[in-house]
Amino acid sequence: MKLDAVFSVDPANMNDAAEIARTVEALGFAGLWSGETRHNGFLPLVIAAQQSERIELGPAVAIAFPRSPMVTAQLAWDLQAFSQGRFLLGLGTQVRSHIEQRFGMAWEPPIAKIRDYIQAMRAIWNSFQTGAPLNYRGQFYKHTLMLPLFNPGPIEHPRIPIYLAGVNKGLMRLAGELCEGFHVHPFHSVKYLNEIIRPQIAAGAARAQRSAADVVLAAGVFTITGPDEATMDLVRARVRQQIAFYASTPSYRVVLAVHGWEEVGGQLTRLAALRRWEEMSRLISDDMLDAFAIQAPFGRVGQALCERYEGIVDRVACYIPFVPGGWDDMWRDTVATVHRA
């Protein structure tokens, strides 16, 4: 199992990306994922690629539908070349309200559309690499023009791994069928992994005559830790809020359903509509916290990750933005424990 780090960098201070990448690599992490919430997920990866030599890099996740397949294909191609083959393309579909209201795009069937999107990108990459005419005609996307002026040409590592994210069973099966990896949302449990995600990945892989082992499972993990109990209490409160926020979203209700907690999901949805945020976290019981997060003091985080995830997923990343400095010894110990397992 590999341990990755996650970061979110404000473009106003891109020097942070350089220091983070150097420190993450020095500490022995396997990869570094950038989020795409307040800021663009691709931009800091350019700095990170320049400042590192070994770690894998990627967005977790870039939202696909606001960008055309050509735009994303070009971004990925350039980052793959610049990183010398260390780029991993994490893609997500997002929920309808965000696509329509935040990005101002039309909502269309997401599973069929992301399938078309992935196939379009691979056709574009093939044209980039081989110079073959671009003639992709899919259900949602059509790409039929590639002039020499716009073709970046072949690169040393043309096979760019695609990691799809989602909580929809159809997206899981699609990842099993078409992709190199699947991003497991931090709002998950081992029961959900074993009863929903892994069987759906396997079903998709079987449909394409692949092995489920061909699909890397990468899980973000809600992590409650700290150098002392007071710090852990602060982190615990924040994680309760995060869990309550995700659990209030109907799209994520399937995670609660595995445990029989659908009623709590309905209550959270109603409270969220009323913006009663503080009340929401009170509905996250200790049992729910134990199911959806690991809780371990410094020195035991790596052991806790291994006990929960070894043999179930291939990569884990604590859902804590990496900051160089105070916690470096904890991270070094955690990396060593996970990679030794």
* pLDDT value for 145: 98
Contact yes or no for 204/171 (Cβ under 8 A)? no
Indicate the SS3 state at residue 280. helix
Contact yes or no for 29/54 (Cβ under 8 A)? no
The bridge status of strand 142-143 relative to strand 136-137 is: antiparallel
CA–CA dist 228, 297 (Å, integer): 7
pLDDT tens digit sequence for 206-257: 999 999 999 999 999 999 999 999 999 999 999 999 999 999 999 889 999 9
CA–CA dist 222, 295 (Å, integer): 9
- Classify domain 2-227+293-340 at the CATH topology level: TIM Barrel (3.20.20)
pLDDT at 11 over 80: no
Contact yes or no for 131/151 (Cβ under 8 A)? yes
pLDDT at 278 over 90: no
The residue-averaged pLDDT of 288-299 equals: 97
The residue-averaged pLDDT of 141-150 equals: 98
CA–CA dist 51, 48 (Å, integer): 5
pLDDT at 158 over 80: yes
Domain ranges for the chain, please list them: 2-227+293-340
User: Of 12-16, 41-45, 62-66, 197-201, where does mean pLDDT reach its minimum?
Assistant: 12-16
* pLDDT value for 6: 95
pLDDT at 330 over 90: yes
